[in-house]
Amino acid sequence: MSFADLGLSDKVLQAVTTAGYTEPTPIQAQAIPHVLARRDVLGIAQTGTGKTAAFTLPMLTMLENGRARARMPRTLILEPTRELAAQVVENFDRYGTNHKLNVALIIGGVSFADQDAKLTRGTDVLIATPGRLLDHFERGKLLLTGVELLVIDEADRMLDMGFIPDIERIVKMVPFTRQTLFFSATMPPEIERLADMFLHNPQRIEVARAASTAETIVQRLVATGGEGHAKRERLRTLIRGEAELKNGIIFCNRKRDVALLQKSLVSHGFDAAALHGDMDQRARTTALDAFRAGETALLVASDVAARGLDI
């Protein structure tokens, strides 16, 4: 199967070809026709399966007709973290090169004034984190009554981060007649409940068993004695023992541990940067861009980097 078989517009197909893609991934092949048919979709897919393009490509095709109005976005994509939201914008930039659509990114850590200006111009695609979206709504700068399509991405991550009350509130603000696309890597009972509440007769697409590990991942468990210093010493030994290691992400479950470990690694001669939620947006973007570009070998991160980053 090729992208040409999915019902996408010529403009989108041309952009996909220019980007160097020839065959859709399973989630794209299964989801795109249903999105174009304006059906609700419940997608269960791991990171790395091409899920973002599964909703970006058909949205571009559907948005070729119609026009945005001031402060009333036509479509809304909700993401749990600033980094994931920015990554979706990159997808629209890549595949929407033949379109003249207004895409706005609404996240924390960025000037309200700049975001207000984008909303005032009219927005075809609004990509946002829940908290900042509600901030704009409460300030009277945003109306959601014109939303035709709502995407709730990484729903289980939203649950982990405590965003579900915000999501429920936002859903009540958009029209009942909207089309909804709901994606999650796992399906705990609370996420099943939300899917039942938000979706109408959805097409369920499951390209991998929920909460399963991607086939390209090898998992190992390493036992360490003690805490703190002993763990950091063991980690340094592991890194030094991997002769072919070019880059790596090291996760910590607390922000203060991220900062402590990053400083420790740097003091022992390692090239390491930190990424966590208490950093300002400029610093977070700089750290992630440097890691992507290969300028930084190790990224010590909290769970803000735990899902979906394209590196």
Which residues, at least 6 apart from 8, have a Cβ–Cβ distance to it below 8 Å? Answer: 16, 32, 36, 57, 58, 61
pLDDT at position 309: 74
Provide the token pair at 161.
């981060």
By CB atoms closer than 10 A (0-12, 13-18, 19+), residue 149 is buried
Domain topology for 229-305: Rossmann fold (3.40.50)
The fraction of the chain above a pLDDT of 70, given in percent, is 97
Q: Are 209 and 46 in contact (CB under 8 A)?
A: no
Q: How much is the average pLDDT of 21-45?
A: 95
Provide the token pair at 216.
């390209």
Q: How much is the average pLDDT of 46-74?
A: 92
pLDDT at position 148: 97
pLDDT in tens, 172-230: 999 999 999 999 988 889 999 999 999 999 999 988 665 566 677 788 899 887 778 88
Entry pTM = 0.81
Q: How much is the average pLDDT of 266-280?
A: 91
* Inter-CA distances, 145 with 103, 123, 180, Å: 18, 13, 14
Q: How much is the average pLDDT of 51-56?
A: 95
Phi, psi dihedral angles at 167 (to 5 degrees): -65, -45
Which residues, at least 6 apart from 83, have a Cβ–Cβ distance to it below 8 Å? Answer: 284, 288, 304, 305, 309
Q: How much is the average pLDDT of 31-53?
A: 92
- For domain 3-206, give the CATH number: 3.40.50.300
Smallest CA-to-CA distance from 21 within 50, 41, 47, 43 is with: 50
What is the residue type of 126?
A: L
**Integer Cα distance of 250 and 254 in angstroms:** 12
Q: Are 287 and 274 in contact (CB under 8 A)?
A: yes
pLDDT at position 209: 65
Q: Determine the 3-state secondary structure of 137 from DSSP.
A: helix
Q: How much is the average pLDDT of 74-91?
A: 94
Domain boundaries, the chain: 3-206, 229-305
Q: Are 147 and 198 in contact (CB under 8 A)?
A: no
Q: Between these two residues, 194 and 49, which has the higher pLDDT value?
A: 194
Which residues, at least 6 apart from 223, have a Cβ–Cβ distance to it below 8 Å? Answer: none
Q: How big is the chain, counted in residues?
A: 311
Domains 3-206 and 229-305 fall in the same CATH topology: yes
**Integer Cα distance of 209 and 184 in angstroms:** 11
**Integer Cα distance of 60 and 233 in angstroms:** 50
pLDDT in tens, 226-272: 778 889 999 999 999 987 888 999 999 888 999 999 999 999 999 99
Sheet holding 103-106, edge to edge: 103-106, 125-128, 75-78, 149-152, 179-184, 41-44, 203-206
- H or E segment and range at residue 136: helix 130-138
